[in-house]
Amino acid sequence: MNKTVIHLLFVFLPYVAVGQDKVAPRKIKENFWYKNSIIYNLEIGVFKDSDGDGRGDINGVIQKLDYLKMLGVDVIWLAPFQPSPGADDGYDVADYYGVDPRLGTAGDFAELMHQVKKRGMRVIMDLVINHTSDQHPWFKNARTSKKARYRDWYVWSPTKPRDADKGMVFPGVQEAVWSLDSTTNEYYYHRFYQFQPDLNFMNPEVMQETQRIIGYWLNQGIAGFRLDAVPFIIEVPKSGSDKPKLDFEFLSDIRQFTQSRQADAAILGEANVEPKDNVNYFGKNGEGIQMMFNFFVNQHLFYAFASGDLKPLKKAMHETLEIPQSSQWAFFLRNHDEIDLGRLSDAQRQKVYDVMGPDTNMQLYDRGIRRRLAPMMGNDRRRLDMAYSLLFSLPGTPVVRYGEELGMGDDLRLKERLSVRTPMQWNGTKNAGFTAADTAFREVISDGQYGFTTVNAEQQWRDTTSLLHRISSLIQMRKSCPEIGLGDATVMESGSDDILAIRYEYEGKTLMILHNFSNKPVKATLPVGNARKLNNLRSGAGDIIASNSRVTINLPPYGYGWYRIDHVLP
Ligand code: NOJ
C-alpha cells in the first residue's frame, strides 16, 4: 500500500465503513455531528439588513448570530448566496465562486464563518449544480455555436424530443423541459424553468468542475452542502424526462470526494423519493449521501394533521425507519418551497387542501400549498406547539425555516413560492426592524394577525409564554435526548388511534414520546417491561408510575409528553 492509500483509509474508515453494521462499534455514531444537530434555514436577503439598502446582507446575519445561538441552533443552512440574476431566488447561479454583491463581499463571508465558528456553530450551503442560470458564462458560451468550448457542458438535442412537455417540475408555470436555442437551432434540456439549463454530468469536465466548487467552499469553512434537486442531477441525459435512468454512483463519488477534502463534511440531499428508492440514495452501507429530507413522512404527517387519521403516517414511518448507521433523515415542517403533497392519493391531498389551503391561490403546481405553518394550522397555539414537539422528536435531524419559530404568516399576493419568503419580523418598528430603509426590497407582512406589530421576535422574546420560548425549550429538551438522533426508533401501539407513540433505545436508555393529534383528551396504555416509572422530561409535569408492566398516560387535546424510563438525565 502506498502512502496515499493508507492516508485515505484513515480519513475514510470512521465515516465510510460505519455503514457496515458488523464492523462498526455502536458509539461511532456519536462522531457524526449531523445526527443530532438543530438546523436553521435562512435566506440572507430577507433575514436582516445591516446597511439600510432595503435588502438583507451577510453582516445582518452576523448581527443575529446570538439570537440563533440563544434559540439553540447548531447549523445554519444558507440558501443560495452566489451571484445570480435572481429569477429563481438564487437557485439560478451565475458564478459558483462568488458572493452576490448585493449580500456582501468575500470578506464579509469569511467574517461570518469566523463568527459562526466562534459560537460553536456550523454553516451548510445550498449546492445548486443540476443547472446553472442561462446567464452563467458557461451557458452564454455554450449557445454561441455547436463547437463552442462549453457546448458539451449542457444537454442538447437537434430535434424536439417527443417528451419535451413531460416531467416539468413547475407545472402550470413551466411549459416544457426542452427549449429551442435560436442561435444554434438546437434544443437544450432544463428540468426546471427555461432559464435554468441542466448541466451535463456525463461530461467528466463538469464533474471535475463540481469538485472544484465543493473544494472551494469547504476551504471557505463550509461544513456541508444541501444538495439541490438530487434525482435530477443523477438523470442520465436523454434517457427520457418521464422515467429517466438514474446514475446512483454519482452520489457515492461526490460523497467520497467531499470527504477526501474534509472527513466530517456532510451532504443533505433534496430528494423527494419513494421509500423503496431510499437505499439507492443513502447507499446500501451508507456510502451514498449522508442525509436526505424525509419528504415522504412529511406529506403523510400533514395528512395526519388535516384528517386526524394517523395510519398512513405510521406506515410511512415504518417504511423509512431502517437506514444505515451513518445515514440520517432530516425532518421539517415547512421549507422555502410549497409543501409538496404529490405522493399522497388524490383524496388525501384534497383533504389537506380542504383543511389547510382551500383557496386555489394557496395551492401550487397541482401538488402543494404555498403557505407558512401557522396559517395552515389556523394559528392555533395548541396545534403549533404539538407540531413542533413532534418535529424535535421525530427520528432524525430537525430543520427549522427562519420565522417559523415566531409563527410568521405568508403573503399570498407574491408569486409562486415567494409567499413564504417575506422578511424576518424582528420587532414592531418600521419594516419589522428588518431594514432601516423606507422600503424593503420585498414587502414585510404588516397587516392582520401575522403583521409585524403582532408577530415579532423582540415581543416574543419578552413573553415567556410565546411560541418562540416554547420552541427554544423544546430544542433544549431535544438536546437532552441524544437517543432521538442516535438510537433505534419504534412506532408503538398505544391503544388510541389519535396518538403517535415513538420509543427510542440507545445505550441502555429508553425514551417514549407521545403526541395527541386530536382535539379531545386521550388515554394511552403502553408496555414498559420491568420499568418502575416513566420520568416526565417536561419541567413541572408529574412522573408516571408503572403497574403490571404497563403505564397509562392521559394527554390533553393536542397534548404531548416526553418520558425517559427509570432515568431523568441522559
Ligand atoms: C429545489 C429548490 O428547493 C427550489 O426552490 C428551486 O426552485 C429548485 N430546486 C431549482 O433549483
Q: Are 265 and 259 in contact (CB under 8 A)?
A: yes
pLDDT-derived band at 566 (thresholds 50, 70, 90) equals confident
Class of domain 487-566: mainly beta
| Closest CA to ligand 1's atom 11 | 91
Task: Tell me how far the alpha carbon of residue 358 lies from the centroid of ligand 1, in angstroms.
Answer: 24
Coil, helix or strand for 230?
helix
Parallel/antiparallel/unpaired status of strands 328-332 and 291-293: parallel
Task: Tell me how far the alpha carbon of residue 336 lies from the centroid of ligand 1, in angstroms.
Answer: 9
Task: Tell me how far the alpha carbon of residue 360 lies from the centroid of ligand 1, in angstroms.
Answer: 22
pLDDT above 80: residue 313? yes
Q: Are 10 and 373 in contact (CB under 8 A)?
A: no
> Which pLDDT tens digit goes with each residue over 377-416?
999 999 999 999 999 999 999 999 999 999 999 999 999 9
Which pLDDT does position 456 carry in this prediction? 98
Which pLDDT does position 17 carry in this prediction? 40
Choose which residue among 92, 126, 192 to substitute to test ligand 1 binding: the one with the highest number of ligand atoms within 8 A of its C-beta: 192
Distance CA(416)–CA(173), nearest Å, equals 9
Q: Which atom of ligand 1 is nearest to the CA of 92?
A: 11
Task: Tell me how far the alpha carbon of residue 418 lies from the centroid of ligand 1, in angstroms.
Answer: 12
Distance CA(112)–CA(103), nearest Å, equals 12
pLDDT above 60: residue 18? no
Contacts of 410 (CB under 8 A, 6+ apart): 370, 371, 372, 375, 419, 420, 422, 445, 450
Tell which residue, 484, 519, 523, 518, has the closest CA to residue 504. 484
Q: Which atom of ligand 1 is nearest to the CA of 130?
A: 11
Mean pLDDT, residues 156-173 taken together: 96
pLDDT-derived band at 436 (thresholds 50, 70, 90) equals very high
| Closest CA to ligand 1's atom 10 | 91
Distance CA(66)–CA(68), nearest Å, equals 5
**Residue holding cell 458572493?**
99
Domain ranges of the chain: 3-132+203-426+455-478, 137-189, 487-566
Which pLDDT does position 21 carry in this prediction? 44
Question: Does the domain spanning 3-132+203-426+455-478 belong to CATH 3.20.20.80?
Answer: yes
Which pLDDT does position 542 carry in this prediction? 85
pLDDT above 80: residue 356? yes
Which pLDDT does position 570 carry in this prediction? 77
> Which pLDDT tens digit goes with each residue over 73-121?
999 999 999 999 999 999 999 999 999 999 999 999 999 999 999 999 9
| Closest CA to ligand 1's atom 3 | 337
Mean pLDDT, residues 115-131 taken together: 98
The dotted CATH code for 137-189 is 3.90.400.10
Residues taking part in catalysis: 228, 270
9 or 155, which is more confident? 155
Residues with CB under 6 A from ligand 1: 88, 91, 128, 192, 228-229, 270, 336-337
Q: Are 422 and 410 in contact (CB under 8 A)?
A: yes
Which pLDDT does position 26 carry in this prediction? 56
pLDDT above 80: residue 439? yes
**Can you give the pTM of this predicted structure?**
0.95
Which pLDDT does position 48 carry in this prediction? 98
Integer CA distances (angstroms), 17 to 1, 92, 535, in order:
18, 36, 37
Distance CA(89)–CA(80), nearest Å, equals 8
Distance CA(88)–CA(80), nearest Å, equals 10
399 or 14, which is more confident? 399
pLDDT-derived band at 218 (thresholds 50, 70, 90) equals very high
Distance CA(412)–CA(450), nearest Å, equals 13
Task: Report the mean per-residue pLDDT for the chain.
Answer: 94
Lowest mean pLDDT among 236-240, 371-375, 484-488, 563-567: 563-567
Choose which residue among 41, 46, 88, 232 to substitute to test ligand 1 binding: the one with the highest number of ligand atoms within 8 A of its C-beta: 88
pLDDT-derived band at 485 (thresholds 50, 70, 90) equals very high
pLDDT above 80: residue 279? yes
> Which pLDDT tens digit goes with each residue over 46-69?
999 999 999 999 999 999 999 999
Which pLDDT does position 27 carry in this prediction? 66
Choose which residue among 128, 136, 298, 418 to substitute to test ligand 1 binding: the one with the highest number of ligand atoms within 8 A of its C-beta: 128
Task: Tell me how far the alpha carbon of residue 88 lies from the centroid of ligand 1, in angstroms.
Answer: 8
Mean pLDDT, residues 320-341 taken together: 97
- DSSP assignment of 394-450, as one string? SSSEEEEETTGGGT----TTS-GGGGG-PPP---SSGGGGT-SSSS-SSPPP-SGGG
pLDDT-derived band at 13 (thresholds 50, 70, 90) equals very low
Phi and psi angles of residue 60, each rounded to the nearest 5 degrees, phi first: -65, -40
Distance CA(369)–CA(5), nearest Å, equals 50
Which pLDDT does position 25 carry in this prediction? 52
